[in-house]
Amino acid sequence: EVQLVESGGGMVQPGESLRLSCAASGFTFSLSMMTWVRQAPGKGPEWVSSIDISGTAYYAGFVKDRFTISRDNAKNTMYLQMNSLKPEDTALYYCARATREVGVPPRDYWGQGTQVTVSS
């Protein structure tokens, strides 16, 4: 059974940092392109970043130069380092198996999410 478990979310002030983790199991992680998706209250899902099996990263324009996606295949874990956080980054952040480099995968591909709240 495919499982994706996000962790690392929390409440921070603007300008601070968080590192999200995604623990994967039930599939061959090292051969899977992975994605981060977020969804703010009352809004639709938003693609954030993806990383392919070679380690090439793709980013949405609104997080470029602030967020860094990475993966550790030995640990079946993907990460999202989030720096210089802004209030508009507040959302539930989901780990997902990717269907393409850019774009939101079907909901069935997501994990359960971890809450990120950026507020003063």
Per-residue pLDDT tens over the stretch 21-36: 999 999 999 999 999 9
109 vs 64 pLDDT, higher one: 109
Buried b vs exposed e over 60-69: b needs ≥16 C-beta within 10 Å?
eeebeeebbb
Query: How sure is the predictor about 45, in pLDDT bands with cuts at 50, 70 and 90?
Result: very high
| 4-23 mean pLDDT | 98
Is the pLDDT at 87 greater than 90? The verdict is yes
Q: At 108, is the secondary structure helix, strand, or coil?
A: helix
How many helices, marked H, and strands, marked E, lie in the chain? 0, 10
Is the pLDDT at 64 greater than 90? The verdict is no
Looking at every residue in the chain, the average pLDDT score rounds to: 96
